[in-house]
Structures are given as structure tokens and as C-alpha cells.
Amino acid sequence: MSSLAFYRVAIPFRQRFKHGSAERSHTQAVWVEVVRDGVTGVGEGCPREYVTGESLETAERFLMAHRRTWESDFETLDDMTTWIEEHESVVDANPAAWCAVELAYLDLFGREHGQSVEEFLDVPPVRGSFRYTAVVGDSDNETFDAIVGRYRQMGFADFKLKLSGDMDRDREKLALMRKHEVPENQVRVDANNLWVDPEEAVRHLTALDFAFFGIEEPVAVGQLDALREIHRRTGCRIILDESLVRARQVELLLPDPETWISNVRVSKMGGVVRSLDVLARTGELGLPVIVGAQVGETSLLTRAGLLAAAAAGESLVGQEGAFGTFLLERDVCEPPLMFGPGGALDADALGLASRPGLGIDITPDRSVLQPM
């Protein structure tokens, strides 16, 4: 029998991060620890009201409601996957909270078997170099210019920008991208559901006169016909984030796979198992994949994102996250999982494929953990 402990974790950011849906100055995460016979597994999830419909309060209620069942019943991976299948709607309503639980048990199972999580799940190992995207929030022009300049000095090639919806402001930011000689087709934008209808979105995007690689969530979540219209009139692929959170939604993309790029965020999807299911189905359609991240993820969710990126294989066209202590005042392991020059993270140097469980030694400052 295992024993679970739940925490809220709040680590300050080195600088505030702003986009169309929120502004953050610290992490907002659920932290789960599971212990069995002296072996510990750890998991993290990031509930977001505007992404998953969760708050820290709803996450806590979910965790407390099911903890005794998990502690007594999760002896094996089959036990856990059976629970997921039998409680699909429950996980749908609490994906980030469940992600933290699942990650903790996967870490535990891997450590108990002396296998990496990938080996334990029989999925591709995390090996080689992973290259991350430079993500720039909706800051003032001076700050924006400085951040883009630093990214370029580090050798970043791919960029993701947060649009504001203000024409002059967005044009000024794109002018700064040109100033720093960033190729237009290596820039994607996240509109965070800024516009009410496709006409409004097309008018704004066309006026920007910029050949984006992709446009993420320009209108309300789930408006696939409106998104199709935006793609038809702009010629730009649509990146599905909040509009693609379950494997069963992939069938809605069957008529026109050339329209879409999927954004897989492990916390948003409801954990690793469900992320792998989505990747398998989008892979059948030949959809390009971006492995995304929540702002403020620690190295723990960065590690989960690496699993998803390895599983995506040749479909992977972008990867976000791995900010580590570039964004957080402190991380939860040493060394943190974070990108270096060129946005690269060398998984081989960290030995992630050969170490048991998630393969990172978690040593959080307990002062940032608040028991639930």
C-alpha cells in the first residue's frame, strides 16, 4: 500500500509574465508525493482556470476525494490505467490535478522496477538534444526588444509571441522581430482566444502582414469551423491548444488534417498516458506536434514534456518550456532541466534514459510547499 501527500507549490518568478488570459508572478501548481516501502515518486500539475477549468481549490477537493482509493488500489500500472478508463469524465474535469498523481505513480513504478519511465511504459527513450522555442510575453516594447535580443544572442531560432489584439502594439513587436532578423516562418503566435469571430481575427492577422508559422487559438475554444475559415483566408496553419485536450477530439480533424498543428501539454491533457494516446492518434493523421508547457512549470513537468517530445518523433515541430531558473527564482532539482545555448537541452548529458523513474533527483525547498 502506498501513502500520498499533496501540496500547493508557489515559487516566485524572476520577472512577471503576461499574456491575453493572465499575468503571473509565481507558479500555481499541485505537488504530489507517493511513498511505498521507502521509495518515493513525485508529480506536478498546473491547474489553470482559463485552460483546464481548474483552480487549486478544485484540485484539492479532487485529490482528497480519491486519495484512499489510489493508496490502496494502485499496485501496478494496469491498476492505474484501468482507473483512468473507468473515470474518464472525472479526469476530464481535473486533468492537471490527475497529471500530478499519475506522474508521481509513474516515477514510483519506474524506480521500483529500476527502469526509466519510458522503458517502463515501452515508449521511445529520451535521448539526444531537444531544441526549445523562445517564448515572449506581451510586455512593453523596451522589455520585449531586450528579451528578443537576449534570445538571439543565445542562438534561438524559433519564437512564440503573445499577441495583444492591439494593432499598433502587435505591429511594433513584429517590427522588432524583423529588426532582430528572425525569419517570419520561424515565428508562431498565440492569440489566447482574443477574437469573437473569424472575420475580426482575419482582419487583424492580415493587416499584420507577417508570414507566421502558425496561429494558436485565435477565437473561442472549440470553434473548429471558425478556425478553418481563418486558415482558408490567411493560409496559416492553426495550432490547437485548449481546443484539443482529449484523444476522442482528434476524429473532428479528419476532414482537413493539413489545417492543424496540435499542442500537447502534459498537464493540460491529463497526464502522460492520455498525452501518448493523443500523440498516437494525431500521428496517424500526420499532424505536426508542438509539445507545449504551462508558464511556471518546474523541471518535473519539463521532464514529462521530454517524454512527450520523444514519443512525437519526427512529427515534433516545436517544444516549449525548460525555463528553469531563467524564470523561477529556484527549481526543484539540481541541476535544473533547462535549455542552454541555441535553446538546446542535452538529455544524454543528464542521463535521463538510463536512470530509474523520471531520472531526476527532486530536492525542493520545502518552504515553497504548502500542505493541502
Q: Is 324 in contact with 299 (CB distance < 8 Å)?
A: yes
- The parts of the chain modelled with pLDDT lower than 50 are none
Query: Is 335 part of a structural domain of the chain?
Result: yes
The reply to whether 278 and 216 lie within a common domain is: yes
The reply to whether 172 and 244 lie within a common domain is: yes
Distance of alpha carbon 86 from the chain centroid: 25
Query: Is 345 part of a structural domain of the chain?
Result: yes
Nearest-angstrom CA–CA distance, 157 and 187:
9
With a CB cutoff of 8 Å and minimum separation 6, the contacts of 314 are: none
The reply to whether 106 and 13 lie within a common domain is: yes
Q: Is 116 in contact with 125 (CB distance < 8 Å)?
A: yes
Query: Is 88 part of a structural domain of the chain?
Result: yes
Q: Which pLDDT score, from 0 to 100, does residue 16 have?
A: 65
Nearest to 15 by CA among 322, 329, 292: 329
The reply to whether 235 and 338 lie within a common domain is: yes
What is the CATH classification number for the domain harbouring 220? 3.20.20.120
The reply to whether 79 and 134 lie within a common domain is: no
A 10 A CB-CB count for 229 gives 17
Give per-residue burial for 233-250: e unless 16+ CB within 10 Å, then b: ebebbbbbbbbbbbbebb
Q: Which pLDDT score, from 0 to 100, does residue 10 have?
A: 85
Overall domain count for the chain: 2
Q: How far is CA 323 from CA 12, 134, 327, 336, in A?
A: 13, 10, 6, 9
The reply to whether 219 and 276 lie within a common domain is: yes
Query: Is 355 part of a structural domain of the chain?
Result: no
The reply to whether 110 and 137 lie within a common domain is: no
Q: What are the φ/ψ torsions at residue 317 (nearest 5 degrees)?
A: -120, -5
As to burial, measured by CB atoms within 10 angstroms (0-12 exposed, 13-18 middle, 19+ buried), residue 76 is exposed
Nearest-angstrom CA–CA distance, 74 and 288:
34
The reply to whether 87 and 144 lie within a common domain is: no
The reply to whether 112 and 164 lie within a common domain is: no
The reply to whether 134 and 72 lie within a common domain is: no
pTM equals 0.95
Query: Is 359 part of a structural domain of the chain?
Result: no
Q: Which pLDDT score, from 0 to 100, does residue 24 have?
A: 60
The reply to whether 76 and 206 lie within a common domain is: no
Residue count (the chain): 372
Please state, rounded to an integer, the average pLDDT across all residues of the chain. 94
What is the CATH classification number for the domain harbouring 14? 3.30.390.10
Query: Is 356 part of a structural domain of the chain?
Result: no
Residue-wise pLDDT tens digits, 53-73? 899 999 999 999 999 999 999
Query: Is 28 part of a structural domain of the chain?
Result: yes
The reply to whether 160 and 182 lie within a common domain is: yes
Q: Which pLDDT score, from 0 to 100, does residue 23 have?
A: 60
Nearest-angstrom CA–CA distance, 372 and 151:
38
Q: For the chain, give me the number of helices (H) and strands (E)? A: 13, 16
Q: At what angle do helices 224-234 and 198-208 cross, to 10 degrees?
A: 30
Q: Which pLDDT score, from 0 to 100, does residue 137 have?
A: 86
Query: Is 18 part of a structural domain of the chain?
Result: yes
Q: Residue 201: give the domain boundaries.
A: 129-350
For residue 301, give the C-alpha cell. 513537468
Residue-wise pLDDT tens digits, 233-260? 999 999 999 999 999 999 999 999 999 9
Q: What are the φ/ψ torsions at residue 7 (nearest 5 degrees)?
A: -140, 155
